[in-house]
Amino acid sequence: MKSTLLLIFTLFFLAINSTTGQTKLRVGEFTYNGLTLKVTKNPENNYFITLATTPNFKYNPETIRGLSEQIIASDAVVRTFYREELAINQLPNYSQLSKTNAWIKFYYIVNGRRELVNLTIVTSQNPPFTQENIGFLYKQITSNQRFSVTGSFGLAKYLNMIHYATEYRFDPNYIE
């Protein structure tokens, strides 16, 4: 009788886990729809998710038309045309996430030609996110995000790396 109950419980547990198909986010590499992502942790236990293969970064020139790269880059303004919330709201466990105080940040590197060079996703420690969540967000954002890049000197278009970041908090009491 005990072995029958144990068998039923085990089968029930396996059935629940196999139907969700969700794998907890953890350090290492995982593949989502042909995209291989790498997960690392910093000393504060936040998760950093990037492409497993590092893109070939082309650094900014030291000067552009006599002005230093730092002046031009600090003056550059990046605007996005796809709100990350559109993808976040599509997550299958969004209602569960919205009850947490989790956060997720998106760190973009864009060039002056308005092209995405790199995206790094950072999550709060002990995140309720799954590999499928992060893979879906990475795919959605890199497929749909568009940028404008401007600057008062008109030279931002010559930059190879402009940093831009956004953040989304699931905490229902958080006010921007």
Phi and psi of 83, rounded to 5°?
-85, 125
Give the residue-averaged pLDDT of 139-168.
94
21: pLDDT strictly greater than 80: no
Do 164 and 80 meet the contact criterion of CB atoms below 8 Å apart? yes
Q: What is the pLDDT of residue 17?
A: 40
CA distance 88 to 167: 11
In a domain? residue 13: no
Number of domains in the chain: 1
8 in a structural domain: no
Specify if 2 maps to a domain: no
Q: What percent of the chain has pLDDT over 70?
A: 86
Confirm whether 107 is domain-assigned. yes
Q: Is residue 150 part of a domain?
A: yes
Domain assignment present for residue 1? The answer is no
Mean pLDDT, to the nearest integer, of 23-32? 94
User: Which range of residues forms the domain containing residue 32?
Assistant: 24-169
Dihedral sign, Cα of residue 85, residue 88, residue 92, residue 95: negative
Q: Does residue 18 form part of some domain?
A: no
| Model pLDDT for residues 85-121, shown as the tens digit of each residue | 999 999 999 998 988 889 999 999 999 999 999 999 9
Asked if residue 98 is part of any domain, the answer here is: yes
